[in-house]
Amino acid sequence: MKKLVYYTGVMIIVIILLPLIIVKGCSRPVEEKPIEQVVVSEEYKITVYRSDISKMVEMELEEYIKGVLAAEMPADFDQEALKAQAVAARTFAYGRMSGAYKSKQGVHDEADICTDSTHCQAWVSEENAKKKWNKLFASRNWSKIEKAVRGTKGKIVIYEGKVANTLFHASSSGKTENAEDVWDGVVVPYLRSVTSSGEEESKGYITTISVKAEDFINKLQEKYVDKEFDEDVYKKIKILDYTTGGRVRTLEVGDITMKGTEFRVLLGLRSANFKIDVTDDATLKITTTGYGHGVGMSQWGADSLAKRGGTYTEILKHYYQGVDILSIKDYETNNF
């Protein structure tokens, strides 16, 4: 019996324990693989001259676009319209970052772009954007802005291998302008006159102002310092012709021929689509339609197109004829 127990014990050692000891002794500790570092691509940076604080700052491009979108377009617009505006604003900014377009010298020479809407694009910080909105909708509005920028991240407008100059305006009075009808000699193939419906919903679409004859003459005198004007020159205004988009191209004021755009600036009109009536009390009644220069994308027209089912790419390709939508990375990789 003792032998049986002895042999059983030996067998257990040989069959079970010995292999375990051998395996344990020969095995090597498993080396942990190093965690691979994820390289995050650097965001595009843009230098911005903030007109509100008279200071140049550097921003990530996508963050800058959020501020432009919040300042340039109503946040309650359709999401596709917001996305179209985001792409247009990004293209405008990238065109100046890359040197494809130059800003007017002496305005912000050290910066790529500024926040003055009369020169570049409007911009507002998240904090100030939320302040201008109703508190009930501030968070929702900013979320819409972020969604539109995120949904088009890096996308820009390209025409025949070059960055497009994506100009835009509030409303075009039903038809946009050819670039050369606003800026003499500047023929741009993708900035052509196209229909733009639904803009009549915009605030101040049709506006009438009154200008006293005396004030009108004073403004003329300031512009033409070497000229003298008759007291009744306000009665001698004649519109000569119109642009393709329906704006005043040229008009006569006494013996002076002016462009409609000059007359608009002279009196601070909302657009160059205007009509003039002279009243018996020596007052000019000037009625304007639309708001802005009328070239490129109409913001209110974009919203109308979006509400009728148009995507942001369809909106952009409607207002910028013959263009393509690419990512900045693809554009730079293809070395256009």
Give residue 108's pLDDT. Answer: 78
* Range among 39-53, 96-110, 121-135 with highest mean pLDDT value: 121-135
User: What percent of the chain has pLDDT above 90?
Assistant: 77
Give residue 43's pLDDT. Answer: 80
In the predicted structure, residue 313 carries a pLDDT above the cut 90? yes
Interval 123-146: pLDDT, tens: 999 999 999 999 999 999 999 999
Give residue 40's pLDDT. Answer: 36
Residue pair 173/290 in contact by the 8 Å Cβ criterion: yes
Give residue 308's pLDDT. Answer: 97
Q: How many CB atoms neighbour CB 96 within 10 A?
A: 23
Interval 280-292: pLDDT, tens: 999 999 999 999 9
Give residue 20's pLDDT. Answer: 42
In the predicted structure, residue 87 carries a pLDDT above the cut 60? yes
CA distance 321 to 191: 7
Q: What is the mean pLDDT of residues 55-70?
A: 96
Residues 6+ apart with CB under 8 A from 119: 103, 104, 107, 108
- Confidence band for 34, pLDDT divided at 50, 70 and 90: very low
Higher pLDDT, 7 or 330: 330
In the predicted structure, residue 102 carries a pLDDT above the cut 90? no
In the predicted structure, residue 7 carries a pLDDT above the cut 60? no
Q: What is the mean pLDDT of residues 313-326?
A: 98
Residue pair 155/325 in contact by the 8 Å Cβ criterion: yes
Give residue 261's pLDDT. Answer: 96
Parse the chain into domains and list their residue ranges: 45-168+294-333, 206-289
Give residue 185's pLDDT. Answer: 83
Look at 105-109, 246-250, 264-268 and tell me which has the smallest mean pLDDT: 105-109
**Tokens at 49, concatenated:** 């001259």
Give residue 296's pLDDT. Answer: 98
Per-residue CA distances from 264 to 185, 251, 274 (Å): 19, 11, 9
In the predicted structure, residue 99 carries a pLDDT above the cut 50? yes
Interval 215-251: pLDDT, tens: 999 999 999 999 999 999 999 999 999 999 999 999 9
Interval 173-220: pLDDT, tens: 899 999 999 998 889 999 999 999 999 999 899 999 999 999 999 999
Give residue 35's pLDDT. Answer: 36
- Name the average pLDDT for the chain: 88
Residues 6+ apart with CB under 8 A from 82: 69, 73, 75, 144, 145, 147, 148
